[in-house]
Structure 1
Amino acid sequence: MDASAWAGNDEVQWAADARFAVYYAPSRTSPWWHAGCEWLGTDVETGVAYTAPQPPTVARPVAELTQAPRRYGWHGTLLAPFRLADGVTSYAVLNEARRWAVDQEPSVLSVEAATLGDFVALRPATEDGESGMRALASGALRTLDSLRAAPSAVDLARRLAAPLTERQRALLVEWGYPYVFEEFRFHMTLSSSLDAADERAALVAWWQKRVAELGPLVIDSAALFVEPAAGQPFVLWQRLPFQSGERSKP
């Protein structure tokens, strides 16, 4: 689907097997949006393709290192992808997401580049920042959870087979995803899984310099992303401005 057919268009007819997600995505006017889209090679709101900058200390092309996160677009997960429950329309999801967003107050988040497991990501640089993003994600989950279809038996069995704690298994069964509430860790993925520690370290060092140049993230909106069909790249369908602070101004 051409970007002009879905970006910001309330009337898009998504397929029955489409998945929806609430992500944080920097504002279109933010240098962080351009930096992340350029790094992953695509702008999932406009469909514009980029050639990623090549860190001088990294031997492989960046496109080889970012194949996994590229499909999801530049984002930080707040509410993981889900299919709609029977009888729920995409417009209902959009309405609920907008209703949640208008009650959120903008904030500023200091971030750092780090290795998380075997991939590289941005994460909050302080515990206060981590707690704030956890609260934001928890609110989105509670608001939209009634619209979510329960995982299929096959999908649930596959996820339960992963190495999870008992608490994560309980969260998966109840909420459809194991990393929610106190298990949630906000991050913005910068690489696929990388076996080489020196490769991960080179990316972390390069991105730490970029963080210093770009400054903190402004958390003034979220976005509704859609996977149009299984395995397809996600697209940014609708931006969801935070308006709590604006509405409180005289």
Structure 2
Amino acid sequence: MSTSTPDARIALYYAPPSTSPWWHAGCEWLGRDAETGEVMETPLVPTLAQPVASLTAAPSQYGWHGTLVPPFHIAEGHEAEDVLSAALEWAKRVSPFSVPLQAVEMGRFVALRAAQPAHDEAIRDIAASALHALASLRARPPAEDIERRLASGLTPRQRALLHEWGYPYVLDEFRFHMTLSNSIDSAPLRAEIRSVWQARGETLGPLPFHGAALFVQEHRKAPFSLWKRLPFAHAGVLA
């Protein structure tokens, strides 16, 4: 995959280990393995009013992940290998842990979030450290992206973060989540997806927060692909 084209973007995401049931379950739900490129048949869920594939087209484009540093163009004078080097060094300073999850509604979306505030705060701190570690490698977003965000009804704090960091939902406004659906108007349908994943999460157990990954998008209409995995310190011992 190309990381050097002008339109290419790179992102630092949490991704479950490839050997984890969490990775397979999420990829299957989205119908795509972002690491191998395999297109997967989405599960048949009789209780849902629509096929899973029709409910997950948007998150499928991004792959199964939880954002730590949102997608960005690489700053002039740098290349993808610089991002990889900085990200690997950052990952060495992060300790792995396990995170019980809960399925929640975030506006019109359904997502998985940390069930305990302490874990939510820990991941927020990890994301902040990643943002600072990659700060010099991130180009400022195009003006049209900034204008689009400004028109979306941001709070004063989010507007300030957008101007400083190019994205409004970082640092104290960061909320770790793993998106499970498109934007869905039907409240009963959102509730059913939440119910499906609450049960599935209880079966899968705590999420192994053992590493991150760099995902790459070659151009705005292309799907994101997992480029490089970044194991956290001592994560291999826990695998």
| Residues matched between the structures, number | 237
What's the C-alpha RMSD, in Å, of the aligned pairs? Answer: 1.4
Q: Say yes or no: does 1:121 pair with 2:111.
A: yes
Matched residue, 1:204 = 194
2:48 corresponds to? 58
Alignment of 1:101-120 (within 5 A): 101-120=91-110
Residue 3 (structure 1) aligns with: none
AA partner of residue 156 (structure 2):
E
Q: For residues 16 and 161 of structure 1, what CA distance do their matches in structure 2 show?
A: 26
The counterpart of 1:218, out of the listed 204, 208, 213, is: 208
Aligned partner of 1:9 in structure 2 is: none
SS where residue 110 of structure 2 aligns? strand
Residue pair 1:104, 1:244 contacting (<8 A) in 2 also: no
Partner-residue secondary structure (3-state), 1:71: helix
* Contact 1:103-1:244 at 8 Å conserved across structures: no
Partner of 1:14: 4
> CA 1:35–1:158 in 2, change beyond 3 Å: closer, same or farther?
same
Paired with 1:195 and 1:205, the residues of 2 have a C-alpha distance of 17
- Structure-to-structure mapping, 1:129-148, within 5 angstroms: 129-148=119-138
Identity over aligned pairs, percent: 53
Q: What is residue 79 of structure 1 aligned with on the other side?
A: 69
1:75 deviates by 0.2
Residue 17 of structure 1 deviates from its aligned partner by 1.6
The residue identity in structure 1 corresponding to 2:150 is L
Q: Secondary structure at the match of 1:78?
A: strand
| 1:118-158 CA distance string (max 9 Å, x none) | 01100000100110110010000000011111122222112
State the SS of the aligned residue for 1:132: helix
Contiguous gaps of at least 5 residues in structure 1: 1-5, 7-11
Following superposition of structure 1 onto structure 2, how do residues 169-208 of structure 1 map, counting pairs within 5 Å?
169-208=159-198
Give the TM-score normalised by the residue count of structure 1.
0.92
C-alpha distance in 1 between matches for 2:158 and 2:183: 22
Query: What TM-score comes out, normalization by structure 2 length?
Result: 0.96
